[in-house]
Structure 1
């Protein structure tokens, strides 16, 4: 009946200021900022902008890494990020034998004096840099990869950069979808085997084959490495795979699932900052990834149209944000005007209008009463008034009762809500209104035949279901529809 809904459910994000604070607290970016403040005339860098080896102990000391055996690695990693994000500017040496120099970059001032969105821009650059590292090949032994001149021969690698990038993008996209979907884990972690399987196991496969299970295990190990890299930038919170499960060389890989303790195989969740980062990449790729609050400044037509496909809690939050900046009376009038129409999405618009009006105070009563005689809005107006115990609510004519019933079921079908609730609604209508199906096929509503078809599929009583299918046929015959 209705057009396609948005690709993804809307995400709820903290304010830019809160996200910016999270970004600056991310360990890797915080280290990069500290090294940028430390950089000065005595800082020496190599031809690629990296710190020379002699500088790494000092850099590690600035970061307070102490006697950590990986201190030099972490310091070098933070320095590279500082260069990649413009927190540090480097200048090459006069020749190959002369080290270059470094100084604080222009973006360092943004960290302390920039707007939250500017800080988030630096973090997004950092995310891009870490993402590139995460999809880069793992080079445990460089010797076989060196060409005759001592350079790295990338063509000899079994590495497809586009495929690697697409795989990690897909994993982050699936993790995002699991997080924002109602019924998903929400703020809870997702088992690594489930993420790996979502990318490897075909949707129509029943019991995975041994070959597919081995692919899942391989994907888990690769994701384990990648999430270890992505965690320090604040994208995820990650509990790594238990090292006791790692397969030794020449041994069979560990089973990808242990029903007794799945957490041993890795658990990951996107942080609020991670949701922001993944959503930003999706938007740049042209994916429809809405966020709660996107519609707050738009008009009522855009609100009701935009809420199509939103799950219940997100629709309520979006509506509350929209109402927060408006006076009740004109807001209610705008909502009612936007709810009119006979297009396929109009029933769902009216449902969202009714839910929005439920959040408006009694000040809206004059404009609600003004539509009591409207054939499309009179039913929901009476519901709103009755729920508030308003006096002098006129009884609806029978035609309005039947029209509202069809409109309500059409909206519920498009909303793809709880099936049991919809069956209960259908059963209640036919039991409360004697002869409902004998009359419903005559209702002048564009969704009448589709609603009766649905009642024929969903009604638990076989006799009533058969009557509904007959009524649907009559409705189509009456309108000349196929």
Structure 2
């Protein structure tokens, strides 16, 4: 049972969604919890359509988005049904929790329910506001208001004909506002982001010390203290006097105090620090003087908090980071798209070591060509622009290095960075890169631990999945294994699992019991696989051969790996393994898909196959019930002459089954 699918995996997602809804509705009815199929489907869709696509991950932002944006924008139903959305979401999150499907990195069950309760008034107000609807939802609600039963085939088409003929009244002002909102803010659709690799970070104390050592943090504190509460005089143009600019440059250690300049604006590093301090509200100008902001004192006493804030506002400082060259251009190219380029560059470095700077230069130039209409005919001018972008990018890296977000070194490039050039770049750029990457001493760049943490924080804020090794150390066993099976490469899964097992009270038996308790056969197989690969010796599956619950799954994996001979199974074990496979197929293909496959495999005897499976004694009670109700019954109703499989054992005929008429 996967809970994350790529956008291209439409069929796989729909099968998983049907399974989730079917199981959740049954569970809710058995336990007396309110549930609505339509709203449950919308909840699953909302997470699938999100930036990270994790169906079982729900935090405060995703809960509020679903209730306050997604449902009003996308879901069409009578008001009394829409009012059930908070209760249905609560039921769904409880179901994820009790079945072990919940992603433990989201809100806890208690936190989630508190958030849902806290949105009730806002949710009601959102439903009352028709301008929050999408265009399609607006027309669907208009049809409902006209008494159109949208469940009747052809009803909406007839409504559209009446609408085109001018026979349907509607609120033109609301529609105009909806169209304006879409033009100004876009819809609620989110583009799926690439999953990020797990990273590790040093202890928090080391990150705090690193922030205090940051050259930029120290300079910002020094600059604010130099300005002081009494302030420093400014020129009529609002700049520092040259003498004061050279004085503070010496204090800051920028190396600009020895320059002969006519204006303080000729000192680029000082200009950047002044702009940075102003953006952070460490300093302010008033009545011709530069002052330290009194309310900034707590931030100035906390280097780590100051570092975080300095990193957050850096994308807004593109004009002063990218020092303009002396050309006719009024603005450097990189400055105009700095807010977009800086996060993209940092994200591309995330989780990688020693990236060649020249590779990033070509990537950024490629982005510039997409953002701007450049003169394609003037090759000399384009080459000049490309070199200027590379120069400005180098300045950006120096600023990030002074901040302590990146580390600049030199050395040979990893062959990885030359392996996909033809797939990404033009022939001209590919040739440039091949030549450059062959050099033995290249400028290289990597994120520091401070930079890694900051980029990860921004990824999480953007709704992306960014695993951190160690964050699952206290996760419930089922939820731990569920995340490892889907979001961690084998080596990182081993690291995370060993860390989990190292904590008191957390052992292999608790993990195995979580697997036994899992009500989804495909998830059981994935959990066992990650355990078998992560534990030394890989004897786990062999040790589980005689486990009454996990045996069939272990046999299947061992046979798939070629470590077990199918002929070594008894008749009853063959039947149990067949049940394991049938129940897995039911989860993956859905009832209709399994019925079709069985008919193709067994023809008129398909019902007999299923009847034998139902009598196998497989421990998956929930799966067998679904198999009986959703697969066996349709097959029985269409069977020509129902048959029963009776296991028999004859000398020299292991594993064969004999058919007998009832």
TM value normalised by structure 2: 0.46
Shift of 1:54: 3.3
Kept in 2: contact 1:19–1:273 (CA 8 A) = yes
What's the secondary structure of 2:562's corresponding residue? helix
Note if 1:314 corresponds to 2:492. Answer: yes
From 447, 470, 475, the equivalent of 1:270 is 447
Tell me the equivalent position of 1:148: none
Task: Map 1:174-253 onto structure 2 (within 5 A).
Answer: 174-177=348-351, 179=352, 188-196=353-361, 220=390, 223-239=393-409
Kindly provide the CA deviation profile for residues 123-176 of structure 1, in whole angstroms up to 9, marking residues without a partner as x.
12211333333477653358874xxxxxxxx8xx87894x54333322221211
From the superposition, tell whether residues 64 and 194 of structure 1 become closer, same or farther in structure 2 (CA, over 3 Å): closer
Note if 1:296 corresponds to 2:494. Answer: no
Q: Tell me how far apart the structure 1 counterparts of residues 198 and 219 of structure 2 sit (CA, whole Å).
A: 33
What's the secondary structure of 2:453's corresponding residue? helix
Q: Tell me how far apart the structure 1 counterparts of residues 214 and 582 of structure 2 sit (CA, whole Å).
A: 52
Shift of 1:59: 0.5
What's the secondary structure of 1:427's corresponding residue? coil
Q: Tell me how far apart the structure 2 counterparts of residues 72 and 398 of structure 1 sit (CA, whole Å).
A: 76
Q: Tell me how far apart the structure 2 counterparts of residues 46 and 435 of structure 1 sit (CA, whole Å).
A: 94
Shift of 1:275: 0.8
Tell me the equivalent position of 1:387: none
Tell me the equivalent position of 1:337: 514
Note if 1:21 corresponds to 2:204. Answer: no
Q: Tell me how far apart the structure 1 counterparts of residues 499 and 549 of structure 2 sit (CA, whole Å).
A: 35
From the superposition, tell whether residues 108 and 332 of structure 1 become closer, same or farther in structure 2 (CA, over 3 Å): farther
From 75, 85, 90, the equivalent of 2:284 is 90
Kept in 2: contact 1:304–1:339 (CA 8 A) = no
Tell me the equivalent position of 1:414: none
What's the secondary structure of 2:478's corresponding residue? helix
Tell me the equivalent position of 1:78: 273
Aligned residues: 371
From the superposition, tell whether residues 174 and 89 of structure 1 become closer, same or farther in structure 2 (CA, over 3 Å): closer
From the superposition, tell whether residues 320 and 259 of structure 1 become closer, same or farther in structure 2 (CA, over 3 Å): same
From the superposition, tell whether residues 271 and 432 of structure 1 become closer, same or farther in structure 2 (CA, over 3 Å): farther
TM value normalised by structure 1: 0.60
Which structure 1 residue ranges, 5 or more long, are not aligned? 94-98, 146-153, 180-187, 203-209, 242-251, 360-378, 385-394, 410-424, 454-469
Tell me the equivalent position of 1:140: 325
Q: Tell me how far apart the structure 1 counterparts of residues 304 and 478 of structure 2 sit (CA, whole Å).
A: 31
Shift of 1:285: 1.3
Tell me the equivalent position of 2:307: 123
Q: Tell me how far apart the structure 2 counterparts of residues 406 and 217 of structure 1 sit (CA, whole Å).
A: 58
What's the secondary structure of 2:315's corresponding residue? helix
Q: Tell me how far apart the structure 2 counterparts of residues 100 and 79 of structure 1 sit (CA, whole Å).
A: 13
Kindly provide the CA deviation profile for residues 78-100 of structure 1, in whole angstroms up to 9, marking residues without a partner as x.
333233334x332411xxxxx22
Tell me the equivalent position of 1:404: 554
Kept in 1: contact 2:408–2:445 (CA 8 A) = yes
Task: Map 1:162-181 onto structure 2 (within 5 A).
Answer: 163-177=337-351, 179=352
Kept in 1: contact 2:308–2:454 (CA 8 A) = yes
Kept in 1: contact 2:410–2:443 (CA 8 A) = yes
Q: Tell me how far apart the structure 1 counterparts of residues 212 and 518 of structure 2 sit (CA, whole Å).
A: 49
Q: Tell me how far apart the structure 2 counterparts of residues 47 and 315 of structure 1 sit (CA, whole Å).
A: 62
Task: Map 1:90-109 onto structure 2 (within 5 A).
Answer: 90-93=284-287, 99-103=288-292, 105-109=294-298
Kindly provide the CA deviation profile for residues 348-368 of structure 1, in whole angstroms up to 9, marking residues without a partner as x.
223445678879xxxxxxxxx
Kindly provide the CA deviation profile for residues 305-343 of structure 1, in whole angstroms up to 9, marking residues without a partner as x.
2223212332233334444543246x8436623553242
Which structure 2 residue ranges, 5 or more long, are not aligned? 6-53, 55-194, 261-265, 368-376, 412-427, 589-596, 611-630, 636-662
Q: Tell me how far apart the structure 1 counterparts of residues 516 and 296 of structure 2 sit (CA, whole Å).
A: 48
Shift of 1:432: 8.8
Kept in 2: contact 1:190–1:267 (CA 8 A) = yes
Shift of 1:270: 1.0
Tell me the equivalent position of 1:4: 4
What's the secondary structure of 1:238's corresponding residue? strand
From the superposition, tell whether residues 62 and 398 of structure 1 become closer, same or farther in structure 2 (CA, over 3 Å): closer
Q: Tell me how far apart the structure 2 counterparts of residues 297 and 123 of structure 1 sit (CA, whole Å).
A: 29
Q: Tell me how far apart the structure 2 counterparts of residues 224 and 110 of structure 1 sit (CA, whole Å).
A: 29
Which structure's residues are more often helix, by fraction?
Answer: 2
